[in-house]
Structure 1
Amino acid sequence: MPAQKPTPPPTSASASDPHGFGGVSHGYAPDGPPSTPPPVPLEDIVRDLVDDAKQTVQAELALLEARGALASHGVKWASAWGFVAACALLVALLAVAFGAILVLAPHVGPLLATLIVVAALIGLAGFAGWRAKRSAGDVKLALRSDLSPQGSDD
């Protein structure tokens, strides 16, 4: 196939190009400045604005619904695994209590060994309850909207 040479633009001034620019517009349309588009009616602008706001609200509600579903899923599984952990801890504490009673029984007798283990477990439960109350107070403080210390809620 023979290669064709491009034809150069005309260099002479024609009737449609009085300045002799050879069809180059230099930023302007060859036939004058472009016509301005007609103004957009206010009703169309308001309708578009309302549609955009409606779509934004729908997207935000969908996001909140998705976040709620995710939180529900997380709470469900956290509570299920927490229940399993609590049951395992209860069984472990029972084993420790029975073991402690069996170890102490030959030295102090079965009744006193039982009372010692029960007192130790009640002391442990009291300490854990005190720490839980302090932690719950921290949560209440963190969730309070006014953080200025005007009085204690304890």
Structure 2
Amino acid sequence: MTRVVETLRTAVSPEPETLTSLMSQLVDDGRSFITAEIDLAKARATDKIGRFRSAAIFFGVAAVLGLSALIALLVGLIFALTPAVGPFAATLIVVGVVVIIAGILAMMGKSRLSGDGA
């Protein structure tokens, strides 16, 4: 019976922990906390990378389809002009207009980069 009472006493009121032991627990808890925070940051970064990768794939496919539609439109313009001016002249007209538009857009972009046309 005294054994049971002694066991209960030590279980209920354990010896006070030493300062060294408490500091050791604090350091261990700090390491665990830092490790958990790093793991959380990695998980968040992985999630964002996955979402950005999916968005980039969709934008890439949209750009390819948009470019395909533009090419089809330009070929259609060449075919539409061919009866009036011939295939060679129709091609030159369409390509010339597209080059002029591309040049204007390139100059606008350059001026925005240099800060003159903001």
Equivalent residue for 2:29?
Answer: 52
- Larger relative CO (CA 8 A, sep 6+): 1 or 2? 2
Is 1:131 the equivalent of 2:109?
yes
Equivalent residue for 2:91?
Answer: 114
- Alpha-carbon shift at residue 129 of structure 1 (Å): 8.6
The counterpart of 1:72, out of the listed 19, 43, 49, is 49
Matches within 5 A, 1:76-95: 76-95=53-72
Following the alignment from structure 1 to structure 2, what is the Cα–Cα distance between the partners of residues 41 and 67? 39
Quick one: which amino acid aligns to residue 76 of structure 2?
A: G
Equivalent residue for 1:152?
Answer: none
Equivalent residue for 2:5?
Answer: none
The counterpart of 2:19, out of the listed 42, 63, 73, is 42
Following the alignment from structure 2 to structure 1, what is the Cα–Cα distance between the partners of residues 41 and 58? 26
- RMSD (Å), alpha carbons: 2.8
Count how many residue pairs are aligned between Structure 1 and Structure 2: 98
Contiguous gaps of at least 5 residues in structure 2: 1-14, 114-118
How has the CA–CA distance of structure 1 residues 52 and 125 changed in structure 2, closer, same or farther, with 3 Å as cutoff? farther
Following the alignment from structure 2 to structure 1, what is the Cα–Cα distance between the partners of residues 99 and 88? 16
**Larger radius of gyration between Structure 1 and Structure 2:** 1
Following the alignment from structure 2 to structure 1, what is the Cα–Cα distance between the partners of residues 74 and 49? 37
- Greater helix percent: which structure? 2
Contiguous gaps of at least 5 residues in structure 1: 1-37, 138-154
Q: Give % identity.
A: 37
Quick one: which amino acid aligns to residue 122 of structure 1?
A: V
